[in-house]
A and B are shown apart, each in its own frame.
Chain A
Amino acid sequence: GIQVEQSPPDLILQEGANSTLRCNFSDSVNNLQWFHQNPWGQLINLFYIPSGTKQNGRLSATTVATERYSLLYISSSQTTDSGVYFCAVISGGYQKVTFGIGTKLQVIP
């Protein structure tokens, strides 16, 4: 099946710093989404981004489908950005969803 790799696995940032999270996938996909898992365990949908670039406030994402990667940018990080960021790809005729292992982000004041 398709492999999804996320990097880095862990990241500690000083508040106000910028960061880039990466998601590589091993085969063509129908869709790619970024999620933030908050401290209560909920998966918050950040971006639905099968290709191209999107921005939402301090967050933006870029997917280059032909090169099989996606990037999530966090600018001017805040402590509320802490949590785990997951990349998930959707592929195949039955829309199989495969998650990466996540990037655990800690933003310190």
Chain B
Amino acid sequence: EPEVTQTPSHQVTQMGQEVILRCVPISNHLYFYWYRQILGQKVEFLVSFYNNEISEKSEIFDDQFSVERPDGSNFTLKIRSTKLEDSAMYFCASIVRGGTGELFFGEGSRLTVL
């Protein structure tokens, strides 16, 4: 079964450092997402990406965050100058198409900011 893959599975970083989380969506998928989940809390929407541009972003997704799809396969989330409150599980997801497409999640990248 095709799957969304994320790297790294766990990253520990110092406050103020830049972090890049990587995702390889399923190859024929068109819509891409990043979500985060602070430990014990709900899954929160960060950003959606379609046709090589951001289609929607939440208020969480401020100037500290950016996304790109540099080579047509990878989908990255960059967090500049990390803060303690950025510690969370970050999930990448993708959907093949519009309408009733099924959503597939990666296994998540756990970010710990010290």
Q: Map CB proximity to B onto A37-54 as digits: 1 under 8 Å, 0 otherwise.
A: 000011101001010000
Contact, CB under 8 Å: B42 / A101: yes
* Cβ proximity bits B10-46 to A, threshold 8 Å, 1 near / 0 not: 0000000000000000000001010101000011110
A35 pairs with B105, CB closer than 8 A: yes
Interface centre among B33, B35, B100, B110, by most A CB within 10 Å? B100
Residues of A contacting B56 in the complex (Cβ-Cβ under 8 angstroms): 94, 96
Chain B residues near A90: list those with CB within 8 A.
Answer: 95, 101, 103
Contact between chains at A42 and B103 (CB < 8 Å):
no
Q: Does B99 contact A (CB under 8 A)?
A: yes
Once A94-B50, A95-B31, A95-B98 are accepted as A-B contacts, the answer to whether A88 and B45 lie under 8 Å apart by CB is no
Report how many residues on chain A are interfacial, defined by Cβ distance under 8 Å. Answer: 23
A98 part of interface (Cβ distance < 8 Å): yes
* Interchain nearest-CB distance for A85 vs B (Å): 12
Q: Is A31 an interface residue (CB 8 A)?
A: yes
Could you tell me if A31 and B48 are in contact, using CB atoms closer than 8 angstroms? no
CA distance A94 to B95 in the complex (A): 11
- A96-B48, A99-B43 known; A33 vs B103 contact (CB < 8 Å): yes
Q: Please name all residues of chain B whose beta carbon is closer than 8 Å to the beta carbon of A43 when the two chains form the complex.
A: 43, 91, 105, 108
Residues of B within 8 A of A102 (CB): 42-43
Q: Which of A31, A86, A96, A100 contacts B102 (CB 8 A)?
A: A31
Distance A30 CA – B97 CA, assembled complex (angstroms): 11
Q: Answer yes or no: B113 CB below 8 A from chain A CBs.
A: no
- Contacts A30-B98, A99-B42 given; 9 further ones with Cβ under 8 A? A30-B100, A31-B100, A33-B102, A35-B105, A42-B108, A88-B103, A95-B95, A97-B93, A102-B42
Interface residues of B (CB under 8 A from A): 31, 33, 35, 37, 42-45, 48, 50, 55-56, 89, 91, 93, 95, 98-105, 107-108, 110
